[in-house]
Structure 1
Amino acid sequence: MAEGEGRRVLVVDDEPALVDVLATSLRFLGYTVDEAVDGRAALHAARENRPDLVLLDVMLPDMDGFEVVRRLRAGGSGVPVVFLTARESGKDVVTGLDLGADDYITKPFRLDEVAARVRAVIRRTGAAAAPQVLRCADLELDTATYEVRRGGVLVDLSPTEYRLLHCLLLNRGLMLTKEQLMDRVWDYGEGDPAVLKTYVSYLRRKLDALGEPLIHTRRGVGYMLREPEPEGT
């Protein structure tokens, strides 16, 4: 069995030639490789393809790699991250590691070094990336199967509805502003709030058909998912 068989890596760099070299090298070792050349594409690929590791350049055209990691972590992703960068500043290294990066490689680098770091980080963090089942009352979301159930009944959600519910469950009991939800679910913070309102309505309709309301609104602020209040309170 090839060393990377069954593992998926996302390579993110604004230099297409470098992305191609890294992707080709990792594919030769058996990894499945996804590619992105900016931060938004990276966030989309990480969310949709669920890689085992992200090789991430710090300098990207739309947002830096640090912001990509912030958004991944804010959205609940614990995917291991290895930064690739030409920067040598100790401050940048500390920033990346403080944000939850797992390793840091400075350009120029050898391909065998990158492969060794990828192998070591995946081996070290494999147990930490185990799937979760998120719960609130009788609602369950399984991150391994992407299935949502309420009271044991399977709830059919669109990808956007799933991401919205996942974000609310990760922050159960906390009021999330409209801006926070737009940023974490759609990867941008200045979209039309009407889009968020529409998807909250879709999600409520499906969940409330199976039990008491779980998603609550604070007018002018945002939304919260919490367990129903006990009767008599």
Structure 2
Amino acid sequence: MPHRFLPGEQWNRGRKAVHVPARVLAVDDNNDTLEVISIVLTLHGYAVTTAPNGATAIRSAPLAQPDVVLLDFTLPDMNGIDVLKALRSQGVTCPAVAWTAMDFGSGKQAYREAGFDAFCGKPGDMDLLVRILLALTQPDGAPSVADR
């Protein structure tokens, strides 16, 4: 099996070092939101695959090989917890961020138990989202933001 380079890792291709971007699977049923997320994250050096619903996310994940999943909770075909469970059953083990307009409040424990690693409200602070993704995709001890 070929070596899978870590996000941010560089490898030499001939004489030139190539940066390997972290791969994000962004799932949201709002096309405008997906477009903004894709643009912002691409500008920050991420490779972004988008999915407008849970079924598409589940089908896309094996090919996308995400390093992190950004997952809306309220989707037209299933909720974010069910999508994450399906992804986990496919062997997707990367961190997952709950991205939702719902109030986390007392629901944080349910998200944690479902396997989410972090939380970010929307419409949200894109700088905070980028910091969360950076913390989850960099193995160099970036600070934890799991309680945000």
TM-score range, shorter chain: 0.7 to 0.9
Residue of structure 2 equivalent to 1:52: 67
**How far 1:125 sits from its partner (Å)?**
9.4
Residue of structure 2 equivalent to 1:83: 98
2:84 to 59, 66, 69: 69
**How far 1:73 sits from its partner (Å)?**
1.6
Find out whether 1:118 has 2:133 as its counterpart. yes
**How far 1:110 sits from its partner (Å)?**
1.2
Would the alpha carbon gap of residues 29 and 61 (structure 1) be closer, same or farther in structure 2, given more than 3 Å must change? same
Q: Structure 1: which amino acid aligns with 2:35?
A: D
**How far 1:76 sits from its partner (Å)?**
2.3
Runs of at least 5 residues in structure 2 that lack an aligned partner in the other structure = 1-7, 9-18, 142-148
Q: Structure 2: which amino acid aligns with 1:113?
A: L
Give aligned-pair identity as a percent.
Answer: 34
Runs of at least 5 residues in structure 1 that lack an aligned partner in the other structure = 127-233
Find out whether 1:9 has 2:29 as its counterpart. no
Residue of structure 1 equivalent to 2:119: 104
Q: Bigger relative contact order, structure 1 or 2, given CA contacts below 8 A and separation 6+? A: 2
Residue of structure 2 equivalent to 1:39: 54
Would the alpha carbon gap of residues 98 and 6 (structure 1) be closer, same or farther in structure 2, given more than 3 Å must change? same
Q: Is the 1:84–1:105 contact (alpha carbons within 8 Å) kept by the matching residues of 2?
A: yes
Of stretches 107-116 and 88-97 in structure 1, the one that deviates more from structure 2 is: 88-97
- CA–CA separation in structure 2 for the residues paired with 1:47 and 1:80: 15
Residue of structure 1 equivalent to 2:145: none
Relative to the length of structure 2, the TM-score reads 0.77
Residue of structure 2 equivalent to 1:19: 34
Q: Which has the larger radius of gyration?
A: 1
Aligned to 1:118, what secondary structure does the other structure show? helix
Residue of structure 2 equivalent to 1:131: none
Q: Is the 1:58–1:85 contact (alpha carbons within 8 Å) kept by the matching residues of 2?
A: yes
Matches within 5 A, 1:79-228: 79-124=94-139
1:35-81 per-position Cα deviation (integer Å, ceiling 9, x unaligned): 11100001111122111111100000001111001111222221210
Would the alpha carbon gap of residues 92 and 47 (structure 1) be closer, same or farther in structure 2, given more than 3 Å must change? farther
- CA–CA separation in structure 1 for the residues paired with 2:140 and 2:101: 25
Relative to the length of structure 1, the TM-score reads 0.50
| Greater fraction helix | 1
Q: Structure 1: which amino acid aligns with 2:81?
A: F
- CA–CA separation in structure 1 for the residues paired with 2:112 and 2:140: 15
Residue of structure 2 equivalent to 1:202: none
Count of aligned pairs: 124
1:28 to 35, 43, 47: 43
